[in-house]
Amino acid sequence: MISGNPIHILQDHPLLDASLLATADNDRVLVIIQLSGGNDGLNTVIPIGEYSKYYNARTNIAIPENKVLKLMGNDATGLHPAMNSLQGLFAEGKLNVVQAVGYPQPSFSHFRATDIWMSGSDSDQYLNTGWAGRYLNYDNPGYPDNYPNSNKPDPLAIQIGSLSTLTCQGPAVNMALSISDPSSFYNLIDGTDATVPNTNAGYELSFLRRIAKQTNQYAARIKLASDSVTQQTTYPNNSLATQLKIVARLIKGGLQTKVYMVNYGGFDTHSGQTTATDTTIGTHANLLKTVSDSITAFQTDISGLEIEDRVIGMTYSEFGRRIKSNASGGTDHGAAAPLFLFGKNVRGGVFGNNPDLPIAATVNDNIPYQHDFRTIYNTILQNWFCVKSTDQLEIMLKEYPTIPLINASVCGIHNDNSIFAKDALIYNYPNPFSSQTKVEFKTNGGHTLLQLLDGSGTVIRVLVEATYSFAGMNSYNLYGTNLPTGVYYLRLQNVDKMYVKAIVKM
């Protein structure tokens, strides 16, 4: 399907109408940045308020406390010293730090964990569609038949790179196109409508020809959008920045594409995560500097291009790393980790509490999740893409709350940034305990979930799951006779508020 011959447009075509491109700048866009390999969240977002426990767990790679970048208005949490660009973005109110994002039974396999994040599935559920693909199918029923058309002339999603991933896989086809460069992507041969035999092979041939023809039409739109932007901000010289620069050009060029995906790898830091003489530099520091500088350059660019009202971005990695570092100066596969949302229309701030670290972490200890990653997805769907709450089940397949990460007024949603208001409490006594402890928790009413997680971050018991009609205090007697000694976590979720507390079984 690919040749070295460029397409030459010899006549006007409605899909190439520049005036149509010019009026397409009112659609909202999500840019997803996948950090492949499993980013070490504890050395990315550093729990200053738990610093002694953090340092004791990873003396060979811990960032010195005086080198941690402070976040304006938050003395308990800081960033890796290589991320000064994101520190500035945070000060501008254009960065959300979402603490301890994960799910109940975490997978420590790169491949399976990536599938879970891309599909939005449970650990024991195998889906062949992606969460963004289901959204795009919901928004564009019948795709790919009769696409592109005058109302939807552009690709629904674009992934910068050679392969389409599960994220944008719809029920029938992948809803995304994959490109490396708009100019080289344009070098595609024309489609054909020749008759095909009435056989299985004929059906496959007609499908390939139809997709090729659609791709050619999309290619012309992509090239026109890309070429219409002649001036951009200076980006760092790295692969992530190059991908984000292409995304900025296509958005400014007028494409109505809703979802863009880019990828940056190398985060599987089992060894040599830092240098031995200076833990603030090394492999992980270089990775984080690339992420920080590239996102900031992108945000500066879309601001100068006057499109930042339309765009938010999200980073994610398939899992975090263990609390305790290993003897090779690295970290092994773990559970929950922080993620970033960025853009002019994010609420700005740190969402969630610092992880409650054990005093003496073992090699098996993990950070328990506070926020289910599907809550982030559902928040984006309802508060950014304005999906009706009654329709979220069609896309997310289960009910998930939203949290106030995004300025959702354009969707007619007004919510207070109250995720940190200490109006929901959980505590237990005695703590430590041997055979029994009484857990008391306060709910503001509505759906309430109380879970018990082990040290690896895995949910081992659902203690309470109920819908309360009124606010008030409630209690639960936790019997721990059959629990091995060690650190456990109580996780309370009351609608959109999440709290995690460490408890110890003696």
d(CA 58, CA 361): 9
> Structure pTM?
0.84
Per residue of the chain (506 residues), give pLDDT as tens. 233 434 333 344 444 444 444 333 348 999 999 999 999 999 999 999 999 999 999 999 999 999 999 998 899 999 999 999 999 999 999 999 999 999 999 999 999 999 999 999 999 999 999 999 999 999 999 898 888 888 888 989 988 876 778 999 999 888 988 877 665 554 433 334 567 778 878 878 777 767 666 666 777 788 888 889 999 999 999 999 999 999 999 999 999 999 999 999 999 999 999 999 999 999 999 999 999 999 999 999 999 999 999 999 999 999 999 999 999 999 999 999 999 999 999 999 999 999 999 999 999 999 999 999 999 999 999 999 999 988 999 999 999 999 999 987 778 776 554 433 444 578 888 889 988 999 989 888 999 999 999 999 999 999 999 998 888 888 899 998 899 999 999 999 998 888 899 999 98
To which H or E segment does residue 159 belong? strand 157-160
Cis peptide before 432, with omega less than 30 degrees from 0? yes
d(CA 407, CA 415): 9
CB under 8 A, 24+ apart: contacts of 458-464: 458/104, 458/105, 458/106, 458/335, 458/366, 459/104, 459/105, 459/491, 463/439, 463/490
> Please, which residues have CB within 8 angstroms of residue 10's CB and are 6 or more apart in sequence?
none
> Please, which residues have CB within 8 angstroms of residue 420's CB and are 6 or more apart in sequence?
351, 353
Tokens of 77: 């949490």
Residue 188 gets which letter from DSSP?
A: B
Pick the CATH number of 22-182+238-411 from 3.10.450, 2.40.10, 3.30.70, 3.40.720: 3.40.720
**Domain boundaries in the chain?**
22-182+238-411, 426-505
Question: 426-505, which class in CATH?
Answer: mainly beta
> Please, which residues have CB within 8 angstroms of residue 376's CB and are 6 or more apart in sequence?
98, 101, 314, 339, 341, 403, 405
